[in-house]
Amino acid sequence: MERREQGNKRYLDKLFEFQKSINVFFNKPELLVAALTHPSYLAEHPNEKVHNQRLEFLGDAILGSVVADYLYHQYPEHPEGQLTRMRAAVVCEATLARLANSLNLGSFLRLGKGEELSGGRRRASTLADAFEALTAAIFLDKGWERTRQFLGEFLKDEIERTARGCYIDYKTCLQEIIQQQGNEKLHYVLLEESGPDHAKQFVSGVIWRSQLLGKGTGRSKKEAEQQAACAALKHLGKIKNISPA
């Protein structure tokens, strides 16, 4: 019991240093702890009751709203479709994982042993989820305005990067190419779904003229479809030497 208490105190001390680094000090530090607790941790610590999946759900919505608000006001000349693609690029897994790494978020995660050994601290999906959960924790503790300020500090460069065209919406690119061939439509199909609820993996395929043009894998159906479209574009020879984000 004493060893566990000492371990908890060391972790809380570590989290205090993290709060200093992001200049956000929680009134309810339990929110921050929850945001950094992976579901796998609870399986080995039955006294713990909360992990970060619900916070991740809320954080995803908050991120989308903050980015949409910024884009709407900063780029009044952009049409809705372009704003949508920009928002998707900013809040995608690769971007959020990169932001999480900039905060060294992986070193603060509470993981189960299996997740730890399998590289969970470096896994893009885990880091992106943690960033979303952190966003929600700040929102619940500090409110909308402080959350918007926090995200603005970290997302501004990413937003400006996408505004310069440094992003690719593979599905849109593929659709535009296919439309040049006639009225045939693309169809995306779910080929496989695997993994536990907290670490789902989806495999999707894109069909054109009854042919499978490409397959893709992702932690969501949308991400898997994007990767399938990227594979199809490579297959068609339209883009080369591009690695999916």
Tell me which residues are annotated as active site. Answer: 60, 132
Cβ atoms 221, 240 nearer than 8 A: no
> Which long-range contacts (C-beta less than 8 Å, at least 24 apart) are formed by 122-126?
124/93, 124/94, 124/97, 125/93, 125/97, 125/199, 125/219, 126/38
- Provide the CA 179 distance to its chain's centre, in angstroms: 30
- Provide the CA 242 distance to its chain's centre, in angstroms: 20
